[in-house]
Structure 1
Amino acid sequence: MVSDQPLFLDSGNTRLKWGYKDRTGSIEDSSELTALIRQFNISNIVLASVTQKWTPATLSGLFPSILVRSAIVEQGLDGLMLAYKDESSLGVDRWLNMLAAMHHSPTGFKVVVSMGTAMTIDVVDSNRHIGGYIVPGLLTQAKSLHQNASALPMVEFSGGAELGGNTQDCINHGILRSAVALVEATVAPLAGQAMVFVTGGDAGYLSNSLGVEHKVNRNLIFDGLKTYWLAKHRDG
């Protein structure tokens, strides 16, 4: 039987991730995607993409019988009012994470932190996006240091934000400490009234050192895609 539940796809800067019902995973190539579609007997796909590697045209070309919908940032969808005057310049991943945060916590302040190639922070007051920050992600910062200061080694993150006792730890812990400080400084003016959501591939590193109450949800973008799909399905 053909499934009426969509396959949600998140095409980020490093990989293609999928969500279907309560299952998630990642895909390396089109053959794996084909196998997944056959396994779940998918009839429609909802895509969020920040790259040109996976687009609606690409997916429609590969799977002409499947309905492909691309999530596009929309002012006011599900009540979320955006700080950006030009909403098309807001990353769809950030928008979907905010939609998900609103779904989980409809009132009060939400601080949404995504830890990936870039680290992004967005603050939402009930249904109003106040604004945010974008800085290089943990690994992006480490690569930049290594590429621009050849004497500094490339590090692998292992957690910890205390003072480092060797060069690797000084880099590792310094980068993480700066990320922690930015989140805590963002949350501090909200006087403990904010629900903090941490998501993304490097969420665990931040979570282990973060000194404010927070929730880790690695599938936040899929919650957002589901919220988007239900809103569009409801509106026809």
Structure 2
Amino acid sequence: MNHENSPVTAKEENVLELDAGNTRLKWRVLQSGQVRGGGFLLKSDSWRERLPRLLDRFGMIDLARVSLVSGTRTETVLRSIISDGLGIPMLFARPCRSRHGVSIAYEDASRLGVDRWLAMLAAHHYYPGRVKVIVDCGTALTLDIVDGQGRHLGGFIVPGLSMMRQSLQMNTADLTLVDEATKNGNLGKNTQECIGRGVLVMAAALIDKQARRYDDPVVLLAGGDAEQIEACIDVNCALYKDIVMDGLALAFD
């Protein structure tokens, strides 16, 4: 199941939401709390040229809310485009120990990735009283468990699918990497299939094992590789592609 149009709240009339990850910049615009448009830009794209053009059709934007995990340089670029260039006030989300019923396991909240924190806020908002297994299938694969009372029990961070494939190519002789998406978890019949399907099954096995530790958990998948991994997971799960941005409104509410 794909939950691309999950409910969000916004007090401002027109809000720009940005999720700046390690490989791409996701964006969407809310008008009166409803999603009116969105997409993503790659790191290689010219953000200074393309982002203003993408936003132009939405008219006046009152506020930008930002999730940023990709460093100070990206923050500087975004401020120059959004705040300085377009005159839009910006709010950058920062993790805290407790908010909207979610209490994190980290003693130092600043050490938790803001994207993970926002996803936990949104997941607990969607499913209070249920155990949540929240998985971001991006450059790194992150998995966090939040119980029915909103307590973050902890998580895992492992390489994502592309990173695992690249590691094999870099550290093993005579392996040719074919960086193609696959949703097939069957045994490979050549080296490229063995690599692609092997890393996929490893990621799916981690999610399945953690989900089976709990009674009737909700498994929420996000990130660029979510659809590939969903096809190989045995437990019931749902796609929440915009879960980080859904958490942005909760972070400032």
The two structures have a TM-score, normalised by structure 2, of 0.85
Give the drift of 1:24: 2.0
**Structure 2 partner of 1:225:** 248
In 2: Cα distance, 1:150 partner to 1:50 partner = 33
Give the drift of 1:38: 2.7
Is the alpha carbon distance of 1:26 and 1:151 closer, same or farther for their aligned partners in structure 2, counting shifts above 3 Å? same
Among residues 184, 205, 210, which one is paired with 1:181 in the alignment? 205
Does the 8 Å contact 1:60/1:67 carry over to 2?
Answer: no
**Equivalence map 1:182-197=2 (5 Å):** 182-191=206-215, 193-197=216-220
In 2: Cα distance, 1:201 partner to 1:208 partner = 14
Matched residue type, 1:25: G
**Structure 1 partner of 2:28:** 19
Does the 8 Å contact 1:118/1:136 carry over to 2?
Answer: yes
**Structure 1 partner of 2:51:** 33
| Cα deviation code 1:121-143 (max 9, x no counterpart) | 00000210000000000011001
**Structure 2 partner of 1:92:** 114
Give the drift of 1:94: 0.6
The two structures have a TM-score, normalised by structure 1, of 0.91
In 2: Cα distance, 1:58 partner to 1:169 partner = 39
Q: In the alignment, does 2:191 pair up with 1:167?
A: yes
Give the drift of 1:58: 3.6
RMSD of the TM alignment (CA)?
A: 1.4
What fraction of aligned residue pairs are identical, expressed as a percent? Answer: 37
Q: In the alignment, does 2:71 pair up with 1:49?
A: no
Among residues 209, 232, 237, which one is paired with 1:214 in the alignment? 237
In 1: Cα distance, 2:198 partner to 2:190 partner = 12
- Structure with the bigger RCO (C-alpha within 8 Å, sep 6+) is 2
Matched residue type, 1:105: Y
Matched residue type, 2:28: G
Paired residue secondary structure (1:47): strand
Give the drift of 1:43: 2.5
Q: In the alignment, does 2:132 pair up with 1:110?
A: yes
Structure 2 unaligned residues grouped into runs of 5+: 1-11
**Equivalence map 1:122-161=2 (5 Å):** 122-126=144-148, 127-155=150-178, 156-161=180-185
In 1: Cα distance, 2:103 partner to 2:225 partner = 28
